[in-house]
Amino acid sequence: MVQLHETLETILAEVMRRNAGEPEFHQAVREVLESLNTVIAKRPEYAEEALIERICEPERQIIFRVPWIDDSNQVRINRGFRVQFNSALGPYKGGIRFHPSVNVGIIKFLGFEQTFKNALTGMPIGGGKGGSDFDPKGRSDREIMRFCQSFVTELHRHIGEYTDVPAGDIGVGGREIGYMFGQYKRLTNRFEAGVLTGKGLLYGGSRARPEATGYGNTYFTRAMLGTKGLDFDGRTVVVSGSGNVATYTIDKVTQYGGKVIACSDSNGYVVDENGIDLGLVKEIKQARRQRIAEYARLKGEGKGVYYVAGGSIWDVPCDVAMPSATQNELTGKDARKLVANGVIAVGEGANMPCTPEAISVFQHAGVLYAPGKAANAGGVATSALEMQQNASRDSWSFEQTEARLAAIMRGIHDLCAETAEEYGAPGNYVMGANIAGFVRVAEAMRQQGVI
Ligand code: NDP
């Protein structure tokens, strides 16, 4: 663990006291503060006027009851959250997560990370995040609709195209965004397309938005490999998860000549040494909404195809690891295993998937490591492009949108690399991302006074 400057140590202690019992939030704040050691030495103005303390404190936190009726006519209660973290650069922007593990600390860590990520994109968007402890697994389509409608019945008074613009995240995809948009429209009597992103193409969605996070991580990781004269071509790749981010990571890596040999869900992982059949993954996950174990059953076990219940997908030897499921899914032990098996690069599709110990193992072993804050920013960047299309009542082609996404990811990569260099840590993308994101937000806050 890096020793913090005295001022930063005091700030972290206060954050931990004020947000007791929220370990993920403490972890995310600590990582950013570690990167600021050199910043406050070079730019002391950023430690003045409680700027760092203000950045660590959400502007607003909303917690609400979500009552709904299940298919057997039972009344159910969940808890809804929206943490509006920082609006220095634009309206709050960040996804909504439906997962039983959701609590205020998880949403706060995600909103904090989102603030810096959004700043890195260079687009006019602030940071926020929301969600519920609702578990969509096994729920019927009607139950999902009723839940989304109830969720938005409360949330609608806090969001808007100039206020706060949610999108999808774990457990929230195009179907859920559609139900939420429909209810928002009904409650407000406004077709306010820019209030949510990740919409269907027929009613204001953007082409390339579903692909954006996975594609974006692949562009970033490829640019990082390129700094060492390397590429995906002919490399073996392991991608955890089998949801939105994982699916389109597999797609783009394969287009670049990489061979993805494993993916997973929360029950276990599947290995296909011939290369994962993405069509089959989509069929299982998006059409049938089944478990990834089905992959091995449908393909037939043997000939390099097998399923492992539980266990760690990071035991599978690979050249490039792309964690794309959830926070803290890749531990120090996993990292040591990956290093022993010869991994050369790690590109984070998920938010904070590697534990601090895992990051340290990669950095000490000289493994190229791309933090999610930078590498998975393609999703929100394309959401901002969706907002642009909505504001101008326009709809761009897939090629045009993908080209913008690729240019944005290149820009983020170069910004992180140059900032790391400037602050004396060449090749350290964690430092580069944290410092570059922080400076943009901090500078805008300074110019807007003590608010
Ligand atoms: P999805 O719900 O589409 O997919 C999530 C995948 O991860 C599923 O395969 C799921 O398995 C698995 N997973 C979820 N929770 C756990 C867990 N606790 N343990 C093991 N596996 C788990 O979500 P996304 O693909 O959208 O999101 C994945 C990650 O990427 C998240 O960290 C998210 O915050 C991040 N992200 C997403 C963006 C987007 O545009 N969607 C943008 C930027 C970051 P199962 O089905 O069994 O739950």
Write out pLDDT tens, residues 302-314: 899 999 999 999 9
pLDDT at residue 176 in the model: 98
Tell me which amino acid residue 18 is: R
- For residue 47, name the pLDDT band (cuts at 50, 70, 90): confident
Q: Which of 169, 211, 276 to mutate to test the pocket of ligand 1 (most atoms within 8 A of CB)?
A: 169
- For residue 241, name the pLDDT band (cuts at 50, 70, 90): very high
| pLDDT of 1 above 90 | no
Atom of ligand 1 nearest to the CA of 353: 32
Query: What's the CA-to-centroid distance between 324 and ligand 1, angstroms?
Result: 6
Q: Which has the minimum average pLDDT: 16-25, 181-190, 233-242, 298-307?
A: 298-307
Q: Which residues are catalytic?
A: 129
Query: What's the CA-to-centroid distance between 127 and ligand 1, angstroms?
Result: 19
Q: How far is CA 343 from CA 232, 254, 338, 355, 445, in A?
A: 13, 18, 6, 17, 40
Query: What's the CA-to-centroid distance between 350 and ligand 1, angstroms?
Result: 7
Nearest CA, atom 19, ligand 1: 266
Q: If we measure between CA atoms, which residue out of 429, 389, 376 comes closest to residue 197? A: 389
- pLDDT, one tens digit per residue, over 100-113 is 999 999 999 999 99
Structure tokens at 199: 């919409």
Nearest CA, atom 47, ligand 1: 266
| pLDDT of 320 above 90 | yes
Q: Is 371 in the pocket of ligand 1 (CB under 6 A)?
A: no
Please enumerate in sequence order all residues whose Cβ is within 8 A of that of 189, keeping only pairs 6 or more positions apart, or say none: none
Structure tokens at 424: 């004396």
Q: Is 244 in the pocket of ligand 1 (CB under 6 A)?
A: yes
| pLDDT of 359 above 90 | yes
- The highest-level CATH class for domain 212-375 is alpha beta
Alpha helices in 274-377 (DSSP H): 278-282, 293-299, 332-340, 356-364, 372-375
Q: Is 171 in the pocket of ligand 1 (CB under 6 A)?
A: yes
One fold for 60-191 and 212-375: yes
The domain ranges of the chain are: 6-55, 60-191, 212-375
Structure tokens at 102: 């959701």
Q: Is 176 in the pocket of ligand 1 (CB under 6 A)?
A: no
Q: Which CATH architecture has domain 60-191?
A: 3-Layer(aba) Sandwich (3.40)
Query: What's the CA-to-centroid distance between 169 and ligand 1, angstroms?
Result: 7
- pLDDT, one tens digit per residue, over 116-126 is 999 999 999 99
- For residue 61, name the pLDDT band (cuts at 50, 70, 90): very high
Please enumerate in sequence order all residues whose Cβ is within 8 A of that of 294, keeping only pairs 6 or more positions apart, or say none: 284, 288
Query: What's the CA-to-centroid distance between 337 and ligand 1, angstroms?
Result: 23
Q: If we measure between CA atoms, which residue out of 379, 371, 106, 350 comes closest to residue 246? A: 350
What is the C-alpha separation between 417 and 412, in angstroms, rounded?
9
Q: Is 383 in the pocket of ligand 1 (CB under 6 A)?
A: no
Q: Is 240 in the pocket of ligand 1 (CB under 6 A)?
A: no
pLDDT at residue 22 in the model: 98
Q: Is 131 in the pocket of ligand 1 (CB under 6 A)?
A: no
Considering only the C-alpha atoms of the chain, give the largest distance between any 2 of them, rounded to a whole number of Å: 64
Please enumerate in sequence order all residues whose Cβ is within 8 A of that of 328, keeping only pairs 6 or more positions apart, or say none: 24, 352, 353, 354, 355
- Average pLDDT of the segment spanning 86-98: 98
Angle (CA) 195 127 131, round 5°: 65
